[in-house]
Structure 1
Amino acid sequence: MKLGSRALLLILQNAPYLLFIVLLVVFGLMSDRFLALANFRNIIIQAAPIAILAIGMTFVLLTAQIDLSVGGSMYLTASVLALYLTGIPWPIGLAAVLVLAGAIGAVNGFVVTRFGIASFIVTLATLFILRGIAMYLSNTRTLMFEDQILTLNRATVLGIPSAIFAFLVVFAIAWVVLHQTPFGRQVYAVGGDPEAARKAGLPVSRIVFACFVIAGLCAGIGGFVSITQIGAVGPKYGDQIEFAAIAAAVLGGVSLFGGRGSVSGTVFGAILIKSVQNGLNIINADPYIYPLVTAAIIFLAVAIDGLRTRIIERLERRTIRPLAAE
């Protein structure tokens, strides 16, 4: 039984890679364009905003929390940039976006840690508040961005497209923070067992608060990269993108129950989701199928995580033998 469980766990842990191989075969047989090197480059560019968003989501999920407000944060920060920060150099605009996005993450973190309200409820409320403010400011109009923002999408850094470079920088920083710093180890400890972490003297509330701020910052960066690609934002901008970010993280091995996962898997999960969307587009699939496929991916990610968690808990459980009678 244990051998079978370990084999199933191995399959579940490598599910994203197995799914990606299936995608390569299926879409490759249906269209030669899917396997073209230029297409894979486009997939990574298109996946960059979601990957950045999912990296921030990873920090929150690792602490057994969730942030549903990132799509609203993207919409509000992009709207503020288009409405009030036109004409200024883009680095200053990006800095302003990061300040606002970080403040939104800080509000989420403060309410969750200070008042003990479930993060699902807090961030769901924040999502509607942020989208409502953005719609009020923009009068629900589509906002266009100036040329200096649009040209960033065509720019390269060391020969690397700007979107890919931005996502690589965020990924590198996140990987170092999670795997090479005391803070990263504390994040895993809090997610694995918050009570044990608290008894060990870890500042649990501050760690959770910091993770929400990181998620907010990543939402700001992801939104900025996104607007350089599309050049405009409307009422539907960022709508439901938080679910794609969560699905990417969970598909990549991050547990919804906290304490397990890595940003490496998250990035692969984001690329996997974009590969599906790209493949459907290449084969000219019915657009009405897209939401069904996205829903199936989310369901699959949650199902894999639940089954994977149960197997790990069963394998880690120790049999307690009763003491022999004296």
Structure 2
Amino acid sequence: MKIGSRALLLILQNAPVILFLVLLVVFGLMSDRFFAFNNFRNIIIQAAPIAILAIGMTFVLLTGQIDLSVGSSMYLTACVVALYMPDMPWPASLFAVIALGALIGAVNGFAVTRLGIVSFIVTLAMLFVLRGIGMWLSNTRTLMFPDQILTLNRATVLGIPSAIFAFLVVFLCAWALLTQTPFGRQVYAVGGDPDSARKAGLPVSRIVFLCFVLAGICAGIGGFVSITQIGAVGPKYGDQVEFAAIAAAVLGGVSLFGGRGSVGGTVFGAILIKTVQNGLNIINADPYVYPLVTAAIIFLAVAIDGTRTRIIERLERRTIRPLQAV
């Protein structure tokens, strides 16, 4: 039984890779355009905003929390740029969305750590509050962005498309923070066992607070990269994108229960989701199938995470033997 459990765990841990290979074969057989270099390049470019968003979500999930407000945060920050900063240089707009995203994350973190409200409830409420503010500011109109924002999508840095470059910068910073700093080790410790982390003297509330701030920052950056690609935002912009970010993180091995996962796996999950959407588009699938497939991916991600967690707990559980009489 133990060998079988370990084999199943190995399959579950590599399920995203297996699924990705299956998708490559299926879509490649259905369309010869799928394996074109430019198509894979476009997949990564399109996946960049979701990958950035999911990286921020990873920090929150690692602490055993959740943030459902990131999509609305993207919408509000985009509205602010379009309405109040149309003539500002793009670096100023980028700084503004980062600052506003950090503020939104700080509000979420304060409500969770100081007021003791469950993160699901806090961020669900913020989802509606932030979208409502954005719709009020924009009068539910579709907002257009100036050419200086749109030209960024065509720009390159060291020969790398700007969207991919931004995603790589965020990824490297997040990877270094989680794997090369004491803060990263503390994040895993808090997610693994917050009570033990607190007894060990770790500032649990501050760590959780900072993770929400990082998620807000990533939401602002992801939204900025996204608006350079689409050039306009409407009331539905960013709607339900938080579920794609959660699915990407969980597909990449991040546990919904906290304490396990990596930003590398999260990025792979985001690319996997965009590969599915790109493949469906190439084979001219019915657009009504898209949400069904996305829902199936989310269900699969949660099912894999739940099963994987149960198996790991079973394998790590120590058998306590009764004391024998002397």
Structure 2 length-normalised TM: 1.00
Please show how residues 206-285 of structure 1 align to structure 2 within 5 Å: 206-285=206-285
Distance 1:12 1:206 in 2: 33
Moved more, 28-37 or 250-259: 28-37
Which residue of structure 2 lines up, in the alignment, with residue 10 of structure 1? Answer: 10
- Opposite residue 79 of structure 1, the aligned amino acid is C
SS of the counterpart of 2:33? helix
Q: How many Å apart are 1:76 and its aligned residue?
A: 0.2
SS of the counterpart of 2:253? coil
SS of the counterpart of 1:34? coil
SS of the counterpart of 2:277? helix
Please show how residues 75-224 of structure 1 align to structure 2 within 5 Å: 75-224=75-224
- Opposite residue 227 of structure 1, the aligned amino acid is I
Q: Is 2:76 aligned against 1:73? A: no
Instruction: Could you tell me which runs of 5 or more consecutive residues in structure 1 were left unpaired when the two chains were aligned.
Output: none
SS of the counterpart of 1:46? helix
Distance 2:136 2:99 in 1: 21
Q: How many Å apart are 1:325 and its aligned residue?
A: 1.8
SS of the counterpart of 2:125? helix
Q: How many Å apart are 1:247 and its aligned residue?
A: 0.0
Distance 1:37 1:313 in 2: 42
Q: Is 2:299 aligned against 1:299? A: yes
CA RMSD of aligned residues (A): 0.4
Q: How many Å apart are 1:155 and its aligned residue?
A: 0.1
Distance 2:283 2:270 in 1: 20
Distance 2:87 2:221 in 1: 19
SS of the counterpart of 1:88? coil
Distance 2:137 2:89 in 1: 22
Distance 1:175 1:63 in 2: 16
Distance 1:113 1:34 in 2: 46
Distance 1:142 1:170 in 2: 28
Distance 1:182 1:288 in 2: 46
- Opposite residue 188 of structure 1, the aligned amino acid is Y
* Residue deviations 1:136-188 (CA, integer Å, cap 9, x gap): 00000000000000000000000000000000000000000000000000000
Which residue of structure 2 lines up, in the alignment, with residue 21 of structure 1? Answer: 21
Structure 1 length-normalised TM: 1.00
Distance 1:307 1:33 in 2: 36
Distance 1:322 1:18 in 2: 43
Q: How many Å apart are 1:115 and its aligned residue?
A: 1.3
Instruction: Could you tell me which runs of 5 or more consecutive residues in structure 2 were left unpaired when the two chains were aligned.
Output: none
* Residue deviations 1:226-250 (CA, integer Å, cap 9, x gap): 0000000000000000000000000
Distance 1:278 1:82 in 2: 28
Which residue of structure 2 lines up, in the alignment, with residue 31 of structure 1? Answer: 31
SS of the counterpart of 1:115? coil
Task: Name the count of aligned residue pairs.
Answer: 326
Moved more, 252-261 or 90-99: 90-99
Q: How many Å apart are 1:192 and its aligned residue?
A: 0.0
Q: How many Å apart are 1:37 and its aligned residue?
A: 1.0
Distance 1:116 1:192 in 2: 19
Distance 1:193 1:270 in 2: 27
Distance 2:223 2:78 in 1: 7
- Opposite residue 275 of structure 1, the aligned amino acid is T
Distance 1:118 1:6 in 2: 34
Distance 2:174 2:311 in 1: 28
- Opposite residue 184 of structure 2, the aligned amino acid is G
